[in-house]
Structure formats: structure tokens, C-alpha cells
Amino acid sequence: MPIAEMSVNVLLIFAVGGGVGFLSGLFGVGGGFLMTPLLFFIGIPSAVAVATGAPLIVASSISGVLAHWKRGNVDFRMGGFLLVGGVVGSTLGVWVFTLLRGEGHIDLVIRISYVFFLAVIGGLMLTESVRAIMQRKKNQSKRDHSHNWMHGLPFKVRFRTSRLYISALPPLGVGLFVGFLAGIMGVGGGFVMVPAMIYLLGMPTSVVVGTSLFQIIFVSANVTILQSATNQTVDIVLALILLFGGVMGAQFGAKAGAKMQGEQLRGMLALIVLGVCVKLTYDLVLTPSELFTITEIARY
């Protein structure tokens, strides 16, 4: 690989892409939060793994958003506000990334962020899917989004597609936070943004995925460009192999997913997420065989 500066088995990379693609097709998730830790496990430097995730997410979000756009499930105005927050957040994220890289702590911060988010998401998904499986027979009364503290905020904007009239500040804030994660962790952030859009902003579920994908495209494009310009850690060859594997894997995943029930799928994904989280934690706590690490800083 030209940027990772290591020789890796192309078939292994292809398999990782295919595996994550399969899962993302199966569960309907972006998969960035699984791809990056898997790249750590096969020895790709953390900084390269994170930065290379960004163009990959651009590609998969583009292919996803086109389908949603046709069905009119993209709220461009909402997407725009999320995007403004996202661009600022991701620029900040890449800046912090560069700073931490210089101090030698980027590896640790990336890994700890992953442990934290994978634990939270895996835990929430697992409890939710267990509850759903238990309660499947009971009828649930669904109600519209409730009014909360958010509706007292100023700068109200009408979002027609989402049928909302809320302050512009929460979308900006959500975008900012998700963008920051994208800059540091190399994820699209759909796993944070989708729940935030449903529960915090109260958007209808139908437009949530399309709108978040729309935002993710531009934020990840911003991360790709900034990471390339400041850290030179985007490996496009690596990204293309992963992408190719991912596209193939997603096809099979989607077919397999059609035969399974939603709660079981979510439960399985939760277990995979928690498994990756446990492995990452184990690596952080385990006494390393070599306490010293080296980093090249200047060439002559």
C-alpha cells in the first residue's frame, strides 16, 4: 500500500471489505465503525485506518443516498443545517487529530473512543432488541414526537420535508458533534446521528436515513480532503480494494437480511459490536510485549 507503507495481503483486505459490506447489507448500517477497528486488527496504522475510512464512507453514502433521493426521502434544508455543523465539527476533529498525532497519543485516543462508542451502541442495541423480542406480541401505542426543552430555543426554521418547526441550533449541534467524531474516528456517524434525529429532533423515520446519508457525504469528503492535506494518511489504493469488497459483500448481505427478522438481526449486530469492543479493550489493557514504540519524524 503506497500510504500505509506496508505490504498487506490484498485478498485479506478484500475479505475485510467484503465482510463489513456483508454486515452493512445485512443490517442496513454504514459499517465504518466496524471497518476501522478491523483494519487495526490486521495491522494498518490507526491514523491511516481512520483517514482511509473517510473516502470509503463518501462512496457508500453516495450509492445509498441516490436511492433515498428518488423516493423524496431527503430533507435538504435539515441536511444543510446538519452539514454546516458537520463541516465545522469535522474540521475541528481533524485539527485535534493532527495535534494528538504530533504528541504521540492519537492511537490511544482513537482506540478509547472506539471502545466507548462501541460499548454504548452495542449495549443499547442489545437491550433494545432483547426488549423488542420479549414484547413483540404486545401492541405498542406510537405517539408523535413530544415537545421538550428544545422547542424553547430561538432561530426557529420550518423544515417542510420533515414537517417540523424547530430551532436551527439542535441540528447545528448534532452536526457539529457527529462531524467531530468523523474527523477523529473516521466514521460516518450515522449510528449517532440517526438516533439523535429521531429522538432529539423528532424527525419522521422515513427521511432520517436519506438525510443523514446526504450530510455524511459532504462531511466525509471534507475529512478526506483535510486528512490528505494535513496528515497524508489517506490510502486511496487501500480504500478502493475495501470498497470493491464492500460492494460485493453488501449484495449478499442484503439478500441474507431479507430472510431474517429485524430484532434478531439487531441482536446479532449488537453482539458483533460488543465483541469488537471487548477485543479493543483487551488490547489496551494487556501488557504489551514491547513497551517502546518508534515513529519516524524526519528523513534525510
Partner 1 sequence: MPRLLPRFAALCTFVLALCAPDRDAQARDITIDLTDPIVSITTGFTGTDLLLYGAVREPGDLVVVVRGPARDEIVRRKEKVFGVWVNRDELTFDKVPSYYRIASNRPLEEFMNSADADRLQIGLGNLDLRAKVSGKLLPEAPYEFRQGLVRNLQRLGLYMTQPDNVVFLSEQLFRTRLRFPANVSVGTFTIEVYLFQRGALKSTATTLLTVRKFGIEAQVYDLAHRYSLAYGVLAVIIAVVAGWAANAAFRKG
Closest distance to partner 1 from the beta carbon of 268 (Å): 23
Site residues (CB under 8 A) for partner 1, limited to 234-263: 234, 236-237, 239-240, 243, 247, 251
Of the residues 71, 99, 105, 147, which one makes contact with partner 1 according to CB under 8 A? 105
Stretch that binds partner 1, among 38-46, 107-115, 135-143, 262-270 (CB under 8 A): 107-115
| Cell reading at 298 | 524526519
Q: Per CB under 8 A, does 20 bind partner 1?
A: no
Partners of residue 157 on adjacent β-strands: 166
Of the residues 11, 12, 67, 134, which one makes contact with partner 1 according to CB under 8 A? 67
How far from 300 is each of 230, 231, 289, 295, 297, CA to CA, in Å? Answer: 21, 19, 31, 15, 10
Partners of residue 158 on adjacent β-strands: 165
Euclidean distance between CA atoms 253 and 219, whole angstroms? 26
Count of CB atoms situated within 10 Å of the CB of 196: 22
270 to 289: interface string for partner 1, x by CB under 8 A: --------------xxxxx-
DSSP state of 233: -
Closest distance to partner 1 from the beta carbon of 233 (Å): 9
Closer to partner 1 by CB, 11 or 153: give it.
Answer: 11
Q: Which helix (H) or strand (E) holds 156?
A: strand 156-159
Q: What length is written for the chain?
A: 300
Stretch that binds partner 1, among 80-88, 146-154, 222-230, 263-271 (CB under 8 A): 222-230
Stretch that binds partner 1, among 4-12, 41-49, 121-129, 131-139 (CB under 8 A): 4-12
Phi-psi domain of 163 (left: phi exceeds 0; alpha: psi -120 through 50; beta: other): left
Of the residues 127, 135, 205, 232, which one makes contact with partner 1 according to CB under 8 A? 232
How far from 36 is each of 41, 128, 185, 197, 217, CA to CA, in Å? Answer: 9, 25, 8, 24, 18
Q: Residues interacting with partner 1, by CB under 8 A?
A: 2-3, 5-7, 10, 55-56, 58-64, 66-67, 104-105, 107-108, 112, 221, 224-230, 232, 234, 236-237, 239-240, 243, 247, 251, 284-288, 290-300
